[in-house]
Structure 1
């Protein structure tokens, strides 16, 4: 009986653990994502979505590491996924684009639209708004 109770307690504990690689709707970030559209304005008009032909990619691994084609100077790092944010910490010594704080760390608001991921940078000041839409291209 003790063994059965212990097993039940362990199973309930495991079930209640939140896997930090998924959101509240169990959508996983693990896999390869390609930038397909950007949201913003050309400076004088209303912000809108614009398609991207050759977008950069992020590949998120289940161990909390990622690779990316966004910056040629640094292509890998670690990430932390919270219910509403994605923090990308590029792992290259001295990497700094001068737009992020601290250097090499990018904090993005994350939302999900159907099967797409939308990242909204917290490190940019966009008057009309700005965001990046990604489509999953590989598991």
Structure 2
């Protein structure tokens, strides 16, 4: 599904057979780039370009990344990913209660709680984490 476009490049979330981490595709002439995004913050990073031999100039990829990071594009990408794929890709990771940071993997130690489930409220631009045995759930405003 189309998220937006920039200088003729179409930014899309594919909805068939997709997988974590959350990402968008950008198709160019003879290449396809994937950019990862998060349901925790506004970071976007280039994941890969296929085929590598057709990789566009770094400046083009940086421009596209900056466009995807714009609030309205990122909000639309998150909304589509959540509505169509029903995951924010945070389950089976952990959350550090004291530092409010994601801890990759299933980590059990004082102050760190396993993420049992997570969901995205597209209207409020908020991600909710339900943690195992934690004092409360965690809401992250985006």
TM-score normalised per structure 2 = 0.32
TM-score normalised per structure 1 = 0.32
As a proportion of its length, which structure holds more helix?
2
Compare CA radii of gyration and give the structure with the larger one. 1
Instruction: Compare relative contact order (CA 8 Å, sep 6+) and give the higher one, 1 or 2.
Output: 1
